[in-house]
Structure 1
Amino acid sequence: MAAASGGDEAEQQSSLASRLRLAVVRLNRRLRAQRVGTDLSLTQVAALSTLHQHGAMTPGKLAAHEGVQPPSMTRVIAALEAVGYVERTPHPTDGRQAIVTITDAGLAYVHESISVREAWLDRRLHELSGEEREVLDRAATIIQRMAGNS
């Protein structure tokens, strides 16, 4: 009998893991759909956001962070540079490298994008009951801890 309840617990955990994964993926997809214009690809937006969050870095480090090949990141950087959202400057100690930095225009784009997404999410949160918002507040803390962000 104890083995059966242990199996039920494992099944419930698996079900929770699956439901949570799907919920996070779907919410992320909906948030990503709340974009400022459609002038940038999702890869370009992700690279710009990484530069905003982590600061200036080499193209190779940015490619590694985004999980793309360096030639792909070179194209992304070129596109972002063409619209004035990033700039490349020589690396201070390695003449073969460059440093990619977000510009004021790129920073404004990121802030506007964040604003649009948070406004969408805020509207959705206001559709919930106070009790549901409290549950999500606690869940956000737990999810941050699981993700290693606190």
Structure 2
Amino acid sequence: MTHDFDDSAAELRYALFRLTRRLRSARALDAMSDAQLAALGALRAHGRRTLSSLAEHEHVTAPTMSATVNGLADLGLVVRVPDDDDRRRVYVELTAQGESVVAETIRKRNRLLADLIDAQRFDDDELAVLDAASALLKRMADA
């Protein structure tokens, strides 16, 4: 028996889209865009980066990332740090306030997801399926 991956993909995409939309609503600063939060998250995960490296990581153009970083700098969430050896090179670095915003957003999103799981009153077998699905989704995301 063959599996219809198109149907499975469509169902999974729709479920992930709806869940992701709910999770994105939980953030430390309501006025912050998803692109700004993604840039902060990348800086938290990977440390200081050049603007071009950050743009490449986030799959956006350098001018788009420049505008994103400008907004984050205006909020005091990142700073630009000149390279000691090459003054033309500038790094973007998370501030303590930026770190706090990322940590609080993660905390809020984890709490929201935990509350959504709890509200379903899943049994042990269903929770095991969620754990297995998490591992499979991570594997797909990392591919």
Q: Is 1:85 aligned to 2:66, yes or no?
A: no
Question: 2:129 — aligned with what?
Answer: 135
Amino acid at match of 1:37: L
Unaligned runs of 5+ in 2: none
- TM-superposed deviation, 1:80: 0.8
Taking the aligned partners of 1:72 and 1:143, their CA distance within structure 2 comes to 29
Taking the aligned partners of 1:13 and 1:40, their CA distance within structure 2 comes to 36
Taking the aligned partners of 2:54 and 2:65, their CA distance within structure 1 comes to 7
Q: Is 1:125 aligned to 2:131, yes or no?
A: no
Matches within 5 A, 1:50-129: 50-128=42-120, 129=122
Q: Deviations over 1:21-61 (max 9, x none)?
A: 22122211111111223221221111111111111100011
Taking the aligned partners of 1:37 and 1:83, their CA distance within structure 2 comes to 10
> More displaced, 106-115 or 71-80?
71-80
Question: 1:147 — aligned with what?
Answer: 141
Structure of larger gyration radius: 1
- TM-superposed deviation, 1:146: 2.0
Question: 1:35 — aligned with what?
Answer: 27
Taking the aligned partners of 2:64 and 2:139, their CA distance within structure 1 comes to 32
Amino acid at match of 1:141: A
Q: Is 1:21 aligned to 2:13, yes or no?
A: yes
Q: What's the TM-score, normalizing by structure 2?
A: 0.90
Q: Secondary structure at the match of 2:93?
A: strand
Q: Secondary structure at the match of 1:127?
A: helix
Contact 2:41 2:102 in 1 (8 A): yes
Taking the aligned partners of 1:96 and 1:112, their CA distance within structure 2 comes to 34
Amino acid at match of 2:83: H
Contact 2:44 2:99 in 1 (8 A): yes
Cα RMSD (Å): 1.5
> More displaced, 140-149 or 53-62?
140-149
Q: Which has the higher contact order (CA 8 A, sep 6+)?
A: 2
- TM-superposed deviation, 1:13: 2.2
> More displaced, 69-78 or 34-43?
34-43
Amino acid at match of 2:42: T
